[in-house]
Structure 1
Amino acid sequence: MTPLVVRPEPQNQALCRALAEAGHRPVASPLLSFGEGAELPRLPELLGTVSPRDYVIAVSVPAVTFADNVLKRQGLAWPACGYVAVGETTGRALAAAGVTGITVPEDPRSEGIISLPGLQRLAGCRVLILRGDGGRHLIAPTLAERGAQVDYCEVYRRHYRPDPDGSLVKNWQSAGVDSIIVTSGGLLTHVFQLATAQAKEWLLSRLLIVPSIRVADSARELGFTQVINAEGASSQALIAALDERKRNDRQ
């Protein structure tokens, strides 16, 4: 198959290499990069007030990466407390940073996070949510209703690649893209917005591989008709989902 890979670097190159090794013809088109968030300088101070009974929630790999980098620059360690990672990939990033006591909900949506047993009774607890610019609005008010003092820390910002002349989508069409691998809701929205009205029908008819139920639901709401939930954002999970479709097409 000829999948379009839009995830940021360096994950884009790694996924394309793995796809090629699996016999696919990937088209690399990174649409997202990250920069330091406006509140990143406050992170050491915020983490310094976290106690063992408190929680830190990391919503993505970039949230972990930017937070860990600033702690390393200042010679600081992650505090001893409860940690929640949104997704297995984020959990692995926290573990690689030396964090222990990580909980990863089976459902990576906000609903899965607020359903965790450890987050039901939070009177007197603090919860620090490490995130990018915007998103995950359900978590904070729900946890606050349960008694927690909730703080956000915008540790990174997203920068989406523009396409003012429409050349990106035309290049995808010329390359014979038959499938698209999208690893976040933000990327899904951006891909959809890049397509002109004339290209929307082509885009929506592509096979779409997504990492979670949340993104799958969003894709169907936009009008995508062929959506496969890979149940993870790792290269292995994404390729397995694509290979399963390829095998089914041959039968």
Structure 2
Amino acid sequence: MKFAITRPQGKGEALATELAKSHLSALCTPVLKLCSVQASPQQLLSACDADILIFISQDAVLNFALQLQADSLSLSSTCQIFAVGTQTADAVSEYLSRRAKVPKRQDSEGLVALAELEEIQDLSVVIIKGRGGRTHIAKTLKARGARLSTCNVYERIAEQSSSDDWLDLWRASKIDGIVVTSNAAVDAIFNTQQAANQAWLQTCMFVVVSERTAQHLKIQYKITDTQIVVSSGASNDALAQTIGALISQQGNAMTEKQQETPASIPTNEPQQVETQANNNTAKLSKTAVLALLVALAGVGAAGGVYVYNQQQITQQSGQIAQLSAQNSQLLSQLQTAQSTLNGLQNQWQAQQKSMTSQLQQQQQQVQKTLQQTLSQARQQVGGAVSSELRALARYAEFKAASERDYLGAVMVLKRLDGALSEEPATDALKLAINQDIAMLRALPKPSTEAVYMALAGLISQVDKLPLKTIDKPKERAVESAELSRDISDWQANIIRSWQKIKADFLTIRQHDRPVIDPLLDAQEQQLIRAQLRSYLQQAQTAFLDQQASIFDQALSGAIATLNRYYRTNESASNMVMEQLQVLQRTEHPVAQSPQLATPTALKEWLQ
């Protein structure tokens, strides 16, 4: 028997190699091509977070792994993975680096019979499959209460719109059986409008991989049970074993038929011919016999030539048909390869466009973010710089106008000029700063410090100046009040007793000179010195504030206090009096506050 293998490109060749090892002929004719289907981001995320993942085929694993890699996603570490067959499980291990559980019966029914899939109430289950098909798994798991969703990552599409070319090739190649692995492949094979091809398909044997496909052949295309063989699995080994068993079964059936054929039928014919020949030989003449022999020889020769020509024609037709089949197969493989190449090119171009678009978007986003960050930084730096510049300008103006500290104002303006070294378009502002510096350096320096220090020196001498106080004379020595025991001193004892009695009521002290000014105690002396110190400090403050009238009044008060309460005839008081009189004659030139151009220029530059 000769079989046609309809598996997709790249899968049927391995089965043909296995059959060739058993000296079985096979013709690879892919009837379906696999096209990748992009799953939605929501489907991929649901699959990554699922409790259970079920992979239907190797192509489902490959396409799903590629899409996960493209979106930089990964499966949950707690996810349970199931595969319909061992080859699918091997693909899971290769592309996803995970282990998948495989049922003993490698089909949909065997998968849903697993004990792990019995109690799945409220579990998230995602089936990774091709578009269409495998409804039995979904219905069963949904009936068990699972939160089911599907993720289609590829689809099967017929290589040709009609199967007539394939069927003509198979009929010419004398195909006896057809290997189909899906309902989609069955539909593609029976998609013919020629009655002869339909009739020929009704005589073929079909090797399928699941009972579901066998039922599809029976119901949709009226194929009998004797024409359908269900393989124990979808792997190449399982299909090769099934085909080998089918051929062995067919060989045993043919042997039994040959043994049942009667052996007596061919032995009767020679006896009848021999009897008739003996009867006719006596009646025929030699001439007739010779003519008959010549005629028979001519007919035999013509028949031999005809048979030989027919054999040559048949042989040549077989060779031509074989070459045509090979050409058709090569053409089909070439078309499949070209289609695959075109698909890969389209995918590569689409991925390149997508990557280019994503890269451009990321670059634009990064550039936008960088510009926003730089703008914010510039605003922050600009705000800090402008605040510092304003503060320096105000401080310079305060130094020059209020404190009359022209040198300090010059130092502040130099600091402001240095802060503008890295700023653009500052020529006008720097010109105003330099003009203000030159003006401040040209102004006369006030003698504020000399007057202030002179008053400070006088304040330090206040506690040392002598006040107008009376020096009390020394008290006379008090005579002893003790009475004498000598009788002769009776007069002295009487006087002493009288003085003692008088001292208890009245004390009389005698001085050599009269007291004119009142006596000052320590507190009064401290208050007088504090008053003089206050006048001098008030004069200091008034001079700094350029309050001439208050300055003169404070000096006048200090001179009056000095004349009234201090001894001006002594050198210390006299020196203080002279300095106060000199300070009183000091002129107070009222100078106008210098007007700086820097604050106005800075305000215009900031705007």
Q: Deviations over 1:153-195 (max 9, x none)?
A: 1111111112448222111100111111111222122212246
Q: Deviations over 1:75-132 (max 9, x none)?
A: 5444331112123332232233345442223344544333322222223310011111
| Structure 2: stretches of 5+ with no match in the other structure | 253-607
User: 1:91-240, aligned counterparts within 5 Å?
Assistant: 91-164=89-162, 166-194=164-192, 196-221=194-219, 222-224=221-223, 225-240=226-241
Contact 1:65 1:93 in 2 (8 A): yes
Specify the structure having the higher radius of gyration (Cα). 2
Larger fraction in strand? 1
- SS for the counterpart of 2:25 is coil
Name 1:15's counterpart in structure 2. 15
- SS for the counterpart of 1:168 is helix
Q: Deviations over 1:52-97 (max 9, x none)?
A: xx10011222111111222334454443311121233322322333
Aligned residue pair count: 248
Structure 1 stretches of 4+ moved >6 Å: none
Distance 1:131-1:40 versus aligned 2 partners, 3 A rule: farther
Contact 2:48 2:73 in 1 (8 A): no
Contact 2:89 2:99 in 1 (8 A): no
Partner Cα distance (1:165, 1:31) in 2: 8
Larger fraction in helix? 2
| Deviation larger for 119-128 or 94-103 | 94-103
Q: Cα RMSD between the aligned structures?
A: 2.4
- For 1:35, the aligned partner's letter is C
Contact 1:40 1:156 in 2 (8 A): no
Distance 1:151-1:165 versus aligned 2 partners, 3 A rule: closer
- For 2:232, the aligned partner's letter is E
Contact 2:49 2:76 in 1 (8 A): no
Contact 1:163 1:194 in 2 (8 A): no
- For 2:166, the aligned partner's letter is L
Contact 2:106 2:232 in 1 (8 A): no
Name 1:55's counterpart in structure 2. 52
Q: Percent identity?
A: 27
Name 2:29's counterpart in structure 1. 29
Distance 1:194-1:123 versus aligned 2 partners, 3 A rule: same
| Deviation larger for 82-91 or 229-238 | 82-91
If the length of structure 2 is used for normalisation, what is the TM-score?
Answer: 0.38
If the length of structure 1 is used for normalisation, what is the TM-score?
Answer: 0.87
Distance 1:69-1:195 versus aligned 2 partners, 3 A rule: farther
Contact 1:213 1:231 in 2 (8 A): no
| Deviation larger for 137-146 or 241-250 | 137-146
Name 2:86's counterpart in structure 1. 88
- For 1:57, the aligned partner's letter is I
Q: Deviations over 1:131-165 (max 9, x none)?
A: 11112223334323433211111111111112448
Distance 1:62-1:40 versus aligned 2 partners, 3 A rule: farther
CA drift of 1:25 comes to 1.9
CA drift of 1:223 comes to 2.6
Distance 1:163-1:140 versus aligned 2 partners, 3 A rule: closer
Q: Deviations over 1:28-57 (max 9, x none)?
A: 21111111114265554223323xxx1001
Name 1:242's counterpart in structure 2. 243
Partner Cα distance (1:13, 1:42) in 2: 37
| Structure 1: stretches of 5+ with no match in the other structure | none
Contact 2:126 2:149 in 1 (8 A): yes
